[in-house]
Amino acid sequence: MSPDRAVLRRALDRGEEEGGSVEFKERLTEDLHLSEGRLESLAAQLRHRVLSGDGEATYVVGVTDDGGLAGISPDEFSESMDVLSLLAEEAGAHIEEVKTWGVDGVGSSTPRGDGTDGSADGVASEDDERPLDGIVGVATIREGAVLDDDDHIVVGTAGHVDHGKSTLVGSLVTGEADDGEGGTRGFLDVQPHEVERGLSADLSYGVYGFDEDGPIRMDNPHRKSDRARVVEESDRLVSFVDTVGHEPWLRTTIRGLVGQKLDYGLLTVAADDGVTETTREHLGILLATDLPTIVALTKVDIADDERVAEVERDVERALREVDKTPLRVERHGVETAIEEISETVVPVVTTSAVTQEGLSDLDAMFEALPKTSGEVGDFRMYIDRTYNVQGVGAVASGTIKSGEVEAGDQLLLGPMQDGAFREVEVRSIEMHYHRVDEAKAGRIVGIALKGVREPDIERGMVLLPADAEPTGVREFEAEVMVLNHPTRIGEGYEPVVHLETVSEAASFRPEGGQLLPGDAGATTVEFKFRSYFVEEGQKFVFREGRSKGVGTVTDVSTD
């Protein structure tokens, strides 16, 4: 039996007891279980189970009262989870995690496999490719409500390779001092199986929070329950979108900075290496998107005072070259930095993940900085990743750009390959391994969608309200600035354009015929292969080889 199936076996073996924390449910329906009087009764039952389990309860769904594997359809399972989420909310709790397995014979107590007694041994294994008729699942319920959407900031990190970016974030989210060899960086390594196996849209690679007593950090960021605990206990949450410092992966960095709805940028510059070409490129991308940014001078423990002062001057010079005002936190104080940070004022703080110098300053700033990305208006979310989750179906993840979304909402998805938009329904929403009923602008979420297959969803598509009248755009006008190019940009120049989560080859037709390095001017931009949802005022980055630039959409009319 695989470890996952062992979870089901343990739950079935424990069984339902009067004073226990396990509850069996074959199916939960909105009409029956959310009716007047029934909701209060079931919420009280759930509360009892949670208290009996010292703050944690286990609900096994898709089984009979005696623990036999009945199996229910994917639609029925999704509805059951929606109902269970509402019951948990009513009881002051939340769904932390859901595991699912496939069984044969919807409505039958006979599972797939040799077992005929309804035991977990009859559950389909993960490498069994036969079609699944039914679903059985184990939901872990934890005491406590999820964090309020209004007090959660998302920070995009950038910086040259080996400038201590991931190490710094690792130390912030765990409170652990680095060993001088980048040990805390390991906390930020992405585990592919966590992305592929779960519903959660874990786009951020680090998260920590604050309550009235100070920081709440993770013991082990790889442990889902640890992340969930931080979300549960925090009054203010900070998520980091950690990008890649190597030049060959600049595309990934751009996607992290442009494709997410970030509140702040955090640029690292190593004291032993100083400002590099990559540093300038990342700084240009951060500031070109009007993102308030903090510069962290890292590794000051391995550089002498003279070298640190020299790099500080280089950082200030680089900022002034792009018309930004540096503000040394060490000199002016944290409170001044919090008050003054803006699109034009950039706080600079000296740090060391080894000695933890400067980390308390960053803590104080992240605890107090206001949220900046909560746009008003209708719901809008560009899709960054897609998954197919057994028992749930297609899941689209990304950062909500504006508005809010609720389970059960009708939305439009597109543009599809033919330029049209498709009607879909929100089955459920999950954030940091929490199932939530709604989410607002700035949240990184996974949205399970009904009415579309996962292979039909692509990065760069957008989710919009059902009453919107969107049009796919193949060509638009823009004002651009060339940050770096070996010669000139002329008609037919074909870079990759990064706009929101779109990464698509496009051709440029500059007004006047050409643009030189450092030039700013107007150009027509045409996507080469398909249309996307583009709006006036959106920022984008373009690159081709070592040439790079930034731009703003000025006109999307198709006349």
Q: Is residue 14 part of a domain?
A: yes
* 281 and 218 within one domain: yes
User: What pLDDT shows up at residue 224?
Assistant: 61
Q: What is the CATH number of the domain that holds 402?
A: 2.40.30.10
pTM of the model: 0.58
- The residue ranges of DSSP E strands in 62-184, in sequence order, are 93-103, 134-143, 152-159
Residue 370 burial (CB count, 10 A):
12
**Domain termination site, one of 312, 334, 368:** 368
115-164 tens-digit pLDDT: 333 445 545 443 343 344 688 989 888 876 654 545 678 788 888 878 88
* Rounded CA separation 43/87 (Å): 5
Q: Is residue 292 part of a domain?
A: yes
The tally of domains found in the chain comes to 4
User: What pLDDT shows up at residue 99?
Assistant: 81
- What are the DSSP calls for 53-81, one per residue? TTSEEEEEESB-TTS-B--B-HHHHHHHH
Q: Is residue 373 part of a domain?
A: no
* 107 and 8 within one domain: yes
8 Å CB contact between 485 and 550: no
* Rounded CA separation 49/53 (Å): 6
* Rounded CA separation 362/368 (Å): 10
User: What pLDDT shows up at residue 373?
Assistant: 59
Residue 334, SS3? helix
* Rounded CA separation 461/484 (Å): 29
272-330 tens-digit pLDDT: 999 988 888 778 777 666 789 999 999 999 999 999 999 999 999 999 988 889 999 99
User: What pLDDT shows up at residue 487?
Assistant: 64
* 241 and 256 within one domain: yes
- The residue ranges of DSSP E strands in 329-469, in sequence order, are 345-350, 380-382, 385-389, 393-402, 404-406, 410-414, 422-431, 434-436, 438-440, 444-450, 462-465
Q: Is residue 459 part of a domain?
A: yes
* 115 and 24 within one domain: yes
User: What pLDDT shows up at residue 125?
Assistant: 41
User: What pLDDT shows up at residue 466?
Assistant: 95
On the CB side of 173, CA atoms within 13 Å amount to 32
Structure tokens at 192: 């592919």
Q: What is the CATH number of the domain that holds 357?
A: 3.40.50.300
User: What pLDDT shows up at residue 37?
Assistant: 78
* 440 and 320 within one domain: no
* 211 and 294 within one domain: yes
Task: List Cβ neighbours of 526 (8 Å cut-off, separation of 6 or more).
Answer: 474, 475, 506, 507, 509
Q: Containing domain of residue 45, as a range?
A: 3-143
* 179 and 129 within one domain: no
User: Can you tell me which residue has the tokens 């009945």?
Assistant: 70
**Domain termination site, one of 436, 465, 494:** 465
User: What pLDDT shows up at residue 432?
Assistant: 58
* 356 and 386 within one domain: no
* 205 and 299 within one domain: yes
* 393 and 274 within one domain: no
Reported as type and span, the H/E element at residue 362 is helix 359-368
534-558 tens-digit pLDDT: 999 888 888 877 667 788 899 998 5
Q: Is residue 470 part of a domain?
A: no
**Domain termination site, one of 143, 162, 182:** 143
* Parts of the chain with a pLDDT under 70: 1-4, 104-133, 144-151, 182-205, 221-225, 228, 242-261, 287-289, 373-376, 390-391, 432-434, 484-487, 517-518, 546-547, 558-559
* 302 and 235 within one domain: yes
* 82 and 211 within one domain: no
